[in-house]
């Protein structure tokens, strides 16, 4: 089917309407499951107990979701996107039903792990669909659609959880997703192609998944301890395990990640580094902001939650505005967005303790605006630069790196905050000291993002000026020359 003009309406023309619905539901259901838990968990503990494992519900979900995104591309390449997406829906369905009827905290923890893995598979397929079923001219728009779905779901999740908790039926928060999962399964079955696997179905690379999972577990566990030394050892252990997993993956025939995923000599490596550092930045900027504005600026808990939404709203707004940019304007957006991120985080560092609250909110909004301006284009360029045969794993590696970044950002922010005095309590002096150090050091990732964005633009120019060779160059050439035919 020929591709029409690169407009928003093109996302809902023909079969793309169903594809866009699948992508939106996959992202939305995963994110709602992530964010509604905090609202219902006090009611859960009150009914079934298990307060000692309060943090493990979210932690296990994060760990298994990272594993799901990590192996989602490999499973799609081997078994087909339809089968992999249906597996993700089935696991998410089983996890929601299991959580809704869980009689004990132990069972809830098990089904939350199942939920996370299924959700991770769905997120990987959503990014894979953005790479496989939308031409380059539309890719920035579909990635913006993913950002909008994520932002809206992040706002809806706490409302859903809080609403069911308020009426005394927390289990209903998990039941509510079941009808939508049935709809998603039907759409996947009907509209994703039943292609033969590209090769024999490979067994899961258990050792590599264990190393990746161990790395995320170390990071997540570091947030549950108070000793700075133990936290530091956990973060170092996470780096070692992640590096070991990547080294083994590089030697494997069926990879979880693209070739040389963190090499700065090509656009894929630069793009994946930026994806990781984006979420390190958001975790650094967001993890302590509610506490800071309540303790140091006298904001109520309710308004502190709304304060956090400023970044998501500005991200979504600028993502929509910049989605239709052509290649030249996209280059400018990547550089301008990276600079805005740096300015926003620097502003937060200067204002977080003593600055006017309005200017602090403006700095948070500037950070989100910069991210919205450039992230869809960075992701699109990363997908377009995938090596032949690595489109699926390249696409699924973007959310995997985001998960790693979110975990590492929260862990390192906690490490810095505790070392700065927060471990002794949440007095104004302790919070001010912690905020000064966390937000001061938080400027480092945006500096790296700006440098990597300059590198990415330079590499992209080199690719665009080179003679087209093979499938990778054909993909880049298609974007430069205009509309191409949609892939089946």
Domain assignments of the chain as residue spans, ordered by start: 1-196, 206-253, 261-488
- pLDDT > 70? residue 474: no
Q: Which residue has the higher pLDDT, 378 or 201?
A: 378
418-471 confidence digits (pLDDT tens)? 788 877 777 899 889 989 999 999 999 999 999 999 999 998 776 555 544 444
| Mean per-residue pLDDT over the chain, rounded | 85
* 262/488: higher pLDDT: 262
Is residue 333 predicted with pLDDT exceeding 80?
A: yes
| Most confident range, picked from 41-50, 187-196, 369-378, 389-398 | 369-378
Mean pLDDT of 372-382: 93
Q: What's the whole-number mean pLDDT along residues 404-428? A: 81
- 216-225: pLDDT as tens digits: 888 777 766 7
Per CATH, 1-196 and 261-488 having the same topology is answered yes
Question: Is pTM beyond 0.85 here?
Answer: no
Residue 242 pLDDT > 60: yes
Residue 301 clears pLDDT 80, i.e. is over it: no
pLDDT value, residue 487: 34
Q: Domain 1-196 is of which CATH architecture?
A: Up-down Bundle (1.20)
- In this prediction, residue 8 carries a pLDDT of 86
pLDDT band at 330 (very low <50, low <70, confident <90, very high): very high
Identify the pLDDT of residue 316: 87
More confidently predicted of 3 and 162? 162
- Can you tell me the distance from the alpha carbon of 285 to that of 442, in angstroms, rounded to the nearest whole number? 7
CATH assignment of 261-488, given 1.20.1250.20, 1.10.150.120, 3.60.15.10, 3.30.70.260?
1.20.1250.20
Instruction: Quickly state the pLDDT bin for 347 (edges 50, 70, 90).
Output: very high
Instruction: Return d(Cα 392, Cα 227) in angstroms, integer.
Output: 40
So what's the pLDDT on residue 379?
93
Query: How much is the pLDDT for 482?
Result: 37
Band (pLDDT 50/70/90 cuts) for residue 340 is very high
- More confident of the two residues 367 and 305: 367
């Amino acid at each position: 089917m020929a591709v029409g003009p690169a407009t928003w309406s093109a996302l809902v023309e023909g079969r793309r309407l169903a594809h866009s619905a699948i992508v939106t539901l996959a992202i939305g259901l995963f994110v709602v499951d992530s964010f509604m838990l905090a609202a219902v968990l006090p009611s859960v503990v009150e009914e079934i107990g298990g307060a000692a494992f309060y943090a493990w519900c979210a932690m296990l979900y994060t760990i298994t979701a990272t594993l799901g995104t990590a192996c989602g591309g490999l499973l799609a390449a081997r078994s087909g996107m339809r089968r992999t997406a249906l597996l993700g829906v089935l696991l998410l369905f089983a996890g929601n039903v299991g959580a809704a009827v869980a009689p004990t905290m132990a069972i809830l923890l098990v089904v939350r792990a199942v939920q996370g893995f299924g959700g991770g598979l769905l997120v990987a397929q959503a990014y894979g669909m953005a790479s496989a079923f939308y031409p380059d001219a539309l890719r920035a728009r579909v990635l913006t659609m993913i950002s909008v779905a994520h932002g809206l779901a992040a706002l809806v999740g706490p409302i859903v959880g809080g609403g069911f908790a308020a009426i005394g039926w927390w289990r209903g928060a998990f039941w509510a997703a079941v009808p939508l999962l049935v709809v998603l399964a039907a759409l996947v079955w009907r509209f994703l192609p039943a292609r033969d696997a590209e090769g024999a179905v490979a067994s899961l690379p258990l050792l590599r998944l264990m190393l990746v999972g161990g790395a995320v577990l170390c990071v997540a566990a570091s947030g549950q301890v108070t000793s700075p030394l133990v936290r530091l050892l956990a973060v170092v252990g996470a780096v070692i395990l992640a590096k070991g997993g990547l080294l083994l993956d590089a030697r494997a025939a069926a990879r979880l990640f693209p070739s040389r995923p963190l090499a700065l000599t090509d656009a894929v490596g630069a793009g994946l580094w930026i994806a990781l550092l984006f979420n390190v930045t958001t975790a650094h900027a967001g993890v302590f902001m509610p506490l800071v504005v309540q303790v140091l600026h006298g904001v109520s808990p309710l308004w502190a939650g709304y304060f956090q939404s400023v970044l998501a709203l500005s991200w979504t707004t600028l993502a929509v505005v910049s989605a239709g940019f052509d290649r030249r304007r996209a280059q400018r957006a990547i550089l301008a967005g990276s600079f805005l991120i740096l300015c926003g985080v620097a502003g937060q560092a200067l204002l977080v303790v003593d600055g006017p609250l309005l200017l602090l909110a403006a700095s948070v909004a500037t950070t989100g605006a910069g991210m919205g301006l450039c992230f869809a284009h960075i992701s699109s360029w990363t997908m377009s630069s995938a090596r032949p045969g690595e489109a699926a794993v390249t696409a699924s590696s973007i959310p995997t790196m985001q998960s790693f970044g979110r975990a590492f950002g929260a862990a390192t922010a906690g490490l810095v905050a505790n070392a700065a005095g927060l471990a002794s309590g949440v007095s104004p002096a302790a919070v001010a000291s912690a905020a000064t150090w966390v937000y001061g050091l938080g400027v480092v990732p945006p500096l790296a993002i700006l440098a990597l964005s300059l590198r990415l633009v330079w590499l992209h120019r080199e690719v665009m000026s080179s003679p087209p060779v093979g499938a990778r160059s054909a993909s880049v050439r298609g974007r430069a020359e205009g509309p191409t035919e949609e892939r089946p």
